[in-house]
A and B are shown apart, each in its own frame.
Chain A
Amino acid sequence: MKILVLISNVPDTTTKIRFTGDNKAFDTSGVQWIINPWDELALTRALELKEAGGVEKITIANVGTNATEPTLRKALAVGADDAIRIDAEAKDAFFVASQLAQVAKDYDLILAGIESSDYNGAGVGGMLAAMLDIHSVSAVSGVSLENGELKVQRDIDGGNQSLSVPTPLLAVVQKGIAKDPRIPAMRGIMMARSKPLNVVPPADVEARTEFLGYELPEPKAACKMVDEDNAKELIRLLHEEAKVL
């Protein structure tokens, strides 16, 4: 079995968000970049499956400029076998999925994160599956291989389900897929330097949406405090002032 893990390069989750140029662009100055947390968990699960046997190779793919390479090297350092970078600035989910569709054929399992933590698009995985005309399952919280067959767990309203699904499959993964991401070890980092990172030119595709500008939320009014010994007052406020009880 060959696995492809889609990797998005995003600002660290604690980044203070700022914009430049009349609020038209995200201010990347001083930002630390990481593997999108969902993609990192997807990769972790792929590595676990490989260690358990039955997976030949794990490839990672990213649409991005050469600025994303440190993130891709990190993914190689934790154990991916090779990387593909499609050399273009990611414009929207449709654009990214269209680029990935060029390189995503010939895998038995493709893992995509439910969303990237920057633009929260939640679109690339499902779009790619539709473009490749393969099956997809979303809200996936577990993937396992039993005698070469894929078993998938997904979250549904109020619970979860286990499913059998044919390959090739694109699984859009979320919480539960793996527990803790791996931290690259020195040996991994050394090895990653010589692993293949293939740069592919982009296909000529138009994005279907355009980001026009950004806003930051209004600062919030101060929290109204109630005394610990008079906690009942809180219920009165929620009932009479906020009118939510």
Chain B
Amino acid sequence: MSVLVYTENWEGKFKKLSYELSSFAYAIAKEMGSSVTALSIGHVADDELKSLGKYGVSKVLNVQDNRFESLDNKAVADAIAKAVASENAKVVILAHNNEGKAFAPRLSVKLNAGMVTGVIGLPVSVEPFVVKKKVFTQKAFARIQIKTDVKVLTFAQNSFDVVENPVDTAVEAFDPQIGDGEFTTKVLDTHKITGKILLSDAEIVVSGGRGMKGPENWGGLEEMGDLLGAGMACSRPVSDDGWRPKEEHVGQTGKIIAPNLYLAFGISGAIQHVAGVSSSKYIVAVNKDPEAPIFESADYGIVGDVFKVIPQLNEAIKEMKS
């Protein structure tokens, strides 16, 4: 019996979320008296695979098979199901992101497992198995019981601390034996930024809204992003109007993110925008309108002109770093 974690990597390195999921899985395994196995699909070096041991993973199943690069929903879900069977896992944990949302539902049907997505924090209890999640687009919490023997969870990023629990880790090659016929998704073309910080994995996010007045004014925010090693985000009208790439749109209809620090410049803070960022640990708002709703969600704020404030902030960050 074990708890199985589906890990993800970005350019061969585990995403921070993989360590977070491992820490979370270890805490559940401890309550259930079992251990954690991780499944890694893709090209991750041995040392990196072993690094999961620091976060409580006792065994890593390592799948190196290029066919999975197409992220074929059915093939990957079937591969995870094979790992679950071979480990006799009772709890399966994926991230609540593009991949987790693609695979977990299929997996749950395959495993006859109940599923809860977007779980935050440790289970309220493991017997019966009750977890918490946000509902109504971040406006409330629900407690949900899973009634099946095997449980599938997707876990909302940044809702559990990455904690070190070093254990001995065995890395094993794993072949889930998925036939060629199962891979039906053909990738024709890929557009991908590389070497940049992934918005969904960023600890700090710098974000601009319509108050930035135009795409030509983003220089100061990009400088701040570089200085802080931050991911870049924006409000919906900003991406709709093509001021910024659509990957940066956060909110109810964009990405939902939960960094440690979210810095909002010239964003009014409409409910649909806040829905995408309200789980951030700290929110900072700069807006010239003291009545802007963003200040209701913010922890720190400046009522003022973004064009006056941004250069001052950048200068202060440089001073702090030196």
Interface positions of A (Cβ within 8 A of B): 11, 13-15, 17, 19, 26, 37-38, 92-94, 97, 114-115, 117-127, 129-131, 135-139, 151, 155-166, 172, 174-176, 179, 208-217, 220-221, 223-228, 231-232, 234-239, 242, 244-245
Contact = CB atoms under 8 A, between A and B. Distances in A.
7 contacts: A11-B136, A123-B105, A129-B106, A159-B193, A208-B146, A216-B141, A238-B261
A231 B302 contact: yes
A161 B191 contact: yes
A135 B73 contact: yes
A160 B189 CA distance: 9
A220 B274 CA distance: 14
A120 B315 contact: no
Contact of B295 (A217, A223, A242): A223
B115 A226 contact: no
A17 B134 CA distance: 12
B137 A13 contact: yes
Interface string B283-322: 0110000000001111111111100110011011101100
B102 A138 contact: yes
Contacts, number: 267
Contacts of A124: 105
Given A157-B200, A159-B247, A212 B144 contact: yes
A211 B301 CA distance: 37
B135 A118 contact: yes
Secondary structure dominating the interface of A: mixed
Given A122-B101, A157-B200, A220-B296, 6 more contacts: A94-B114, A120-B133, A122-B118, A224-B301, A232-B312, A234-B316
B185 A163 contact: yes
Interface of B: 10, 70-71, 73-74, 77, 96, 98, 101-106, 108-110, 113-118, 130, 133-137, 139-148, 154, 184-194, 196, 198, 200, 204, 228, 240, 246-247, 249, 252-254, 260-261, 271-272, 281-282, 284-285, 295-305, 308-309, 312-313, 315-317, 319-320
A155 B115 CA distance: 23
Interface centre among A157, A159, A225, A244 (most CB of B within 10 A): A157
A227 B302 CA distance: 6
Contacts of B115: 93-94, 123, 127, 208-209
Q: Which 4 A-B pairs have the closest CB atoms?
A: A126-B105, A228-B304, A208-B114, A138-B102
A125 B108 CA distance: 12
B313 A235 contact: yes
Nearest to A240: B320
A164 B186 contact: yes
A116 to B, nearest CB: 10
A213 B142 CA distance: 6
Contacts of B316: 231-232, 234-236
Nearest to A241: B300
